[in-house]
Every structure is written in structure tokens, then in C-alpha cells.
């Protein structure tokens, strides 16, 4: 999942969270359409918040869901 913006910086001992999230998205059981829908939900959440950290995290996660959808469409 290389074209999405990088995850925010975390201490080395906590980076497993990013790796696990990327692994879960790569192996998701969700259909491409479900991944796209979740990405859209996250973009709406990001647009509705005034909290920069939450907005940035939602947008980064939305990008990863979109990549997961694209990968699933490509392999179908």
C-alpha cells in the first residue's frame, strides 16, 4: 500500500499498529465496494471534524481502504 500518505510518526515500539492495519486491509474479507463505501464514510467523518489529528487519520485510513478496493478490483 505505497501510494497512500504515510501513517503519522509513532515510537518504534508502537509501529506494529500501522503494520497490523496494513496487513488487515490487504487480507480483508470485504468486497471492493464495501472498501470504497468505508473510505467514503471516513472522508465524511474527516470533513465533519475540527480536530486535525482525527481528520488526518481518517483521510489516511480512507486512502488505504481505497487502495484495498483497487487491489481487489485488479485481482478480480
CB burial of 23-42 (b: ≥16 within 10 Å; e: otherwise) equals: eebeebeeebeebbebbeeb
Q: Is the pLDDT of residue 2 over 80?
A: no
pTM, entire model = 0.83
**What is residue 13's DSSP assignment?**
G
Strands (E), the chain: none
Q: Write down the pLDDT at residue 1.
A: 46
Give 21-75 pLDDT, tens digit per residue. 888 888 888 999 999 999 999 999 999 999 999 999 999 999 999 999 998 888 8
Amino acid at each position: 500500500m505505497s501510494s497512500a500518505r504515510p501513517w503519522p510518526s509513532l515510537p518504534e515500539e508502537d509501529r506494529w499498529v500501522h503494520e497490523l492495519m496494513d496487513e488487515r486491509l490487504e487480507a480483508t474479507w470485504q468486497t471492493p465496494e464495501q472498501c470504497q463505501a468505508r473510505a467514503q464514510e471516513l472522508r465524511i467523518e474527516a470533513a465533519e471534524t475540527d480536530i486535525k489529528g482525527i481528520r488526518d487519520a481518517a483521510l489516511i485510513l480512507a486512502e488505504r481502504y481505497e487502495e484495498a478496493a483497487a487491489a481487489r478490483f485488479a485481482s478480480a
